[in-house]
Amino acid sequence: MTYYIDDLKPGMRETYERTVTEADIQKFGEVSGDVNPVHFDEEWAKTTPFKGRIAHGVLTASYVSTILGMKMPGPGTIFMQLLTRFKAPVRIGDHVIASCTVREVNAEKRRVTFDCDCKVGDTVVLEGEAMVMAPARPKA
Amino acid sequence: MTYYIDDLKPGMRETYERTVTEADIQKFGEVSGDVNPVHFDEEWAKTTPFKGRIAHGVLTASYVSTILGMKMPGPGTIFMQLLTRFKAPVRIGDHVIASCTVREVNAEKRRVTFDCDCKVGDTVVLEGEAMVMAPARPKA
């Protein structure tokens, strides 16, 4: 399912939910090369302001990308820009709800901007903005 | 090895290099939930402007985070903000060189901004900016 550029209107919203697992942190460390002890060493992480291990911020950011690529606009989308502000830590076992809401549609350039956030319960852990090029409706 | 806030000066630069593998794409799909066919289905991807499968943009963005968390400033850094512009596709087998250069240091707030890019050969595939809180030097 893809939303084409002329389907998209300000206020439309999609979400993606995910519970962060130990395996997710391990795999993210492998693919990124980021094996910082704040993600992998509980004793070390306890000495930081986070008081324990946290997930990689860019792992949480990936959920925003998942919405844009998989749900809205969906396959055919070209991801152009992502701004993420990391507001609070995400820990193993946290259930993250990511959401993207259409802010503006430029039909001529096929550009769509989104307001994005990720929450754990009532806590905003990430907020940001994304810009994509949405697919054109195939000619009949 | 960590750079403390008073070690960091504009112009300092660190890099991280990585060749993107099939396994990286598979694992990134697993941890993010992004199994968009542009990343996993070569036949489908051939029908897109990319003319074949591409890596997840946020995978490339993760290399920037790896520099900040592992190399400069390194462990103890608090990641606050990341802006990434996706300029060109990255494909399986591409050798990506990510770099972060200190732009500005605010010693009082311990905030450091970086100009960041990722290149494949001479092609800039990602450019952006990051802001972190760098660690304070431990008291003697």
Q: How far is A11 from chain B (nearest CA, A)?
A: 23
Output the pLDDT for position A26: 97
B-chain residues near A49 (CB < 8 A): 78
The model's pTM is 0.96
Residue A125, SS3 per DSSP: strand
Q: In which band, very low, low, confident or very high, does the pLDDT at B140 lie, cut at 50, 70 and 90?
A: confident
- A78-102 confidence digits (pLDDT tens): 999 999 999 999 999 999 999 999 9
pLDDT at res. A139: 84
Q: Which residues in chain B have their CB less than 8 angstroms from residue A16's CB?
A: 33
Separation between Cα atoms, residue B49 and residue A47, nearest integer Å = 48
- The alpha carbons of chain A give a radius of gyration, in whole angstroms, of 17
- The minimum CA-CA distance between B101 and chain A, rounded to whole Å, is 18
Q: Give the pLDDT mean for B8-24.
A: 98
Angle at A43 between CA A39 and CA A48, to 5 degrees: 65
pLDDT on residue A7: 96
ipTM: 0.95
Which is nearest to B8 in space by CA: B68, B81, B97?
A: B68
What pLDDT sits at residue B12? Answer: 98
Q: What are B127's strand-pairing partners? A: B85, B117
- Alpha-carbon distance B72 to B74, whole Å? 5
pLDDT in tens, chain A (140 residues): 899 999 999 999 999 999 999 999 999 999 999 999 999 999 999 999 999 999 999 999 999 999 999 999 999 999 999 999 999 999 999 999 999 999 999 999 999 999 999 999 999 999 999 999 999 998 87
Joined together, the tokens standing for residue A73 give 């606009």
Q: CA-CA distance, A125 to A85, in Å (whole number)? A: 8
The yes-or-no verdict on residue B78 having pLDDT over 90 is yes
- Among B10, B13, B20, residue whose Cα is nearest residue B125: B20
Query: Using omega within 30 degrees of 0 as the cis cutoff, is the peptide bond preceding B73 cis?
Result: yes
The pLDDT value recorded for residue B19 is 98
Sequence-ordered list of residues with C-beta below 8 angstroms from that of A96, at least 6 positions apart, any chain: A17, A18, A19, A20, A60, A63, A90, A118, A119, A120, A125
* Cβ within 8 Å, pair B56-A33: no
Q: Do B33 and A66 touch (CB under 8 A)?
A: yes
Q: Would strands B123-133 and B95-106 be described as parallel, antiparallel, or unpaired?
A: unpaired
The pLDDT, as a whole number, for residue A73 is: 97
Residue A78: predicted pLDDT: 95
Q: What percent of chain B has pLDDT over 70?
A: 100
A-B interface: how many C-beta pairs under 8 angstroms? 119
Residue range B24-44, pLDDT digits in tens: 999 999 999 999 999 999 999
Query: Residue A47's pLDDT is what?
Result: 92
Q: Report residue A32 as tokens.
A: 């990124």
Write down the pLDDT at residue B87.
98
Instruction: Give the helix ranges, DSSP H, for A1-140.
Output: 22-32, 37-40, 42-45, 57-66
Domains (range + CATH), chain B? 5-133 (3.10.129.10)
Whether A8 and A110 have beta carbons less than 8 Å apart is answered as no
Res. B138 pLDDT band, cuts 50 70 90: confident
Instruction: Please check whether residue B49 touches A, CB under 8 A.
Output: yes
B129 close contact with A: CB closer than 8 A: no
Instruction: Tell me what the pLDDT averaged over chain B comes to.
Output: 96
